[in-house]
Amino acid sequence: MTYFRMWLPTLLVLALAACTTTPPEQRNPLATWVPSANFNTRMPVVVVLHHTDQHSVQQSLDTLRSANSGGKVSAHYLIGADGQRYQLVADDRRAWHAGPGRWGTITDLNSASIGIELDNDGDSPFTEAQIESLIVLLADLCERLGIPPQQVIAHADLAPTRKQDPSRFFPWQRLAQAGFGVWPRDSDGVPPAGFDAWQALAQFGYPLQDRAAAAGAFHRRFRGSDALPAELDAEDARILHSLLQQTR
Ligand SMILES: [Zn+2]
């Protein structure tokens, strides 16, 4: 009897937990519920980097817990100019940072990504402390969640017609030297005859519905410029050739 009294509360707790793991409202009435214990949370496969376009961490913490002019927004992380990290949404939850867009075959980036906001007004260089802090966080996320390190992209990459962040000041080469994102290598040489730079841009991941906008996002990220013509030149082809060598 003593033994039973000791175990009864535990058994009740376990039984309750088993019932509540997947609430009835999450079960599809079109099928018979035959639960398996063999699952975990869904995993992101991309990291999207942003700049806040605001003037303080506190302002951004407020926005990311309420709304901006376009409605309710959030991100998984915010990193201050001093390098301090804030987490606003758990890694296994869908934050609202990417909006409509496309990267490769992924069409719902919010479902597939971790969003990281960098406290920056869009017209200033990013601080060393902030980039060092970001690299530490990226190492943790890619290791712990199994995100391919090369799949660290800009918000503008997936939504080139709507977004320009992070700005041309973001140090993508530095990030690639730390092992995140990707950067062209001189050793890959020049592309072969007949190389189609636009096809390569799409193959790398950029959406081409608006080619001028896609070229703009590409130039900002890989040439640090917002002022190049909205087309792809020989240098772009060389860069894309190298990027594809590294990501195939
Ligand atoms: Zn953004």
Q: Is 117 designated active site?
A: yes
- The pLDDT tens digits for 156-189 are 999 999 999 999 999 999 999 999 999 999 999 9
How high is the pLDDT of residue 248? 78
User: Separation of 99 CA from ligand 1 center, angstroms?
Assistant: 9
Distance (Å) from CA 175 to ligand 1 centroid: 18
Backbone angles phi, psi at 178, to 5 degrees: -85, -5
Asked whether the predicted pLDDT for residue 104 surpasses 80, the reply is: yes
Contacts (Cβ under 8 Å, ≥6 apart) of 121:
51, 52, 53, 54, 55
Q: What is the pLDDT of residues 209-232, one digit of tens each?
A: 999 999 999 999 999 999 999 999
Q: How confident is the model at residue 21 (pLDDT cuts 50, 70, 90)?
A: confident
CA of 117 to the centre of ligand 1 (A): 7
Which one from 117, 132, 143, 235 is the annotated catalytic residue?
117
155 CA distance to ligand 1 centroid (A)? 5
- What tokens appear for 141 in the block? 């996320």
Q: How far is the CA of 18 from the centre of ligand 1 (A)?
A: 39
Give 31-87 pLDDT, tens digit per residue.
999 999 999 998 999 999 999 999 999 999 999 999 888 899 999 999 999 999 999
What pLDDT score was predicted for residue 226? 97
Instruction: Tell me the CA–centroid distance for residue 34 and ligand 1, in Å.
Output: 41
Q: Give distance in angstroms: CA of 167 to centre of ligand 1.
A: 10
Task: Using DSSP bridges, classify how beta strands 77-79 and 67-68 pair: parallel, antiparallel or unpaired.
Answer: unpaired
- Helix, strand or coil, per DSSP, at residue 144: helix
Element (DSSP H or E) covering residue 51: strand 46-51
Can you say whether the dihedral through the CA atoms of 30, 35, 37, 38 is positive or negative? Answer: negative
